[in-house]
Amino acid sequence: MAQKSSIEWTESTWNPVTGCTKISPGCKNCYAERMTKRLTAMGQLNYRNGFKLTTHNHVVDTPKTWKKPQTIFVNSMSDLFHKDVPYDFILKVFESMQDAHWHVFQVLTKRSERLLELAPDLPWPKNIWMGVSVENEDYKFRIDHLRNIPAYITFLSCEPLIGPISKMNLRGIDWVIVGGESGPKSRPMNQEWVSDIRDQCLEYGTPFFFKQWGGVQKKKNGRLLDNRTWDELPSYDQLMRL
């Protein structure tokens, strides 16, 4: 069975890699690190190494056994393009996604440099969506890297949004997700930052998805922006071409 997800923009998660290391300010209060401590304490075998990066060959092909088509977030508990994940393993994961063509796979990374380096050697079927995390102005360069990836659908995850991101070049970007940080020690998100990104998306005609305001009580804080939810997805025409 796929692991059902409470993440608003996906349906399930699949973690052929677990564990990670911090690379930029968005990692400071890592959700995956907090969750790993819980899973390790529960005796989950895939988390026996705690948050030390670990590849799991035994789950690489599991999406092929899930017959019901679904949208799957890849490595919610790690980063597939971490420097310590061997290229051969990354290739096996991509080949598995290619074989399981009835699913849509959403891959998200902060390691856009390595993504750009390896992309020419990876298969890019239409069911693999590729995204990068951009948490503030200093990491807009990841968008430029993403624009040069031959993925059919490309997307940005501005979560946790910890600062403004102005004047983004969204040419060739198919989707933008924004969300505030949640949990203990969460950093506040300014409404002006969110509204500005939303307006940039409107200018480019890029679908905009507002996930949450975040905070310690994220459910209470909700996900309304200007008195409405924003649940836009890549356009119908794009999806019909898959």
- What are 114's two structure tokens? 């390595």
- Helix residue spans in the chain (DSSP H): 31-41, 87-99, 112-118, 141-147, 191-204, 218-221, 236-240
* pLDDT value, residue 136: 98
* Residue ranges for the chain with pLDDT beneath 50: 1
Residue 118 lies in a domain: yes
* Domain membership flag for residue 4: no
Q: What is the pLDDT of residue 235?
A: 75
CATH code for the domain in which residue 227 is found: 3.20.20
Is there a domain that residue 107 lies in?
A: yes
Helix (H) or strand (E) holding 106: strand 104-109
Q: Is residue 101 included in any domain, yes or no?
A: yes
pLDDT for 6 equals 86
pLDDT value at residue 2: 66
Please tell me the predicted confidence (pLDDT) of residue 160.
98
Taking alpha carbons only, the member of 111, 174, 175 closest to residue 145 is 111
- Containing structural domain, residue 60: 9-240
Summarize pLDDT for 6-42 with one digit per residue, the tens: 899 999 999 999 999 999 999 999 999 999 999 999 9
Domain membership flag for residue 3: no
Split into its structural domains, the chain has a count of 1
- Would 234 be classed as within a structural domain? yes
Q: Taking a C-beta distance cutoff of 8 angstroms, is the pair 161, 195 a contact?
A: no
Is 1 part of any domain? no
According to the model, what pLDDT value does residue 1 have? Answer: 47
Please check whether residue 45 lies inside any domain of the structure. yes
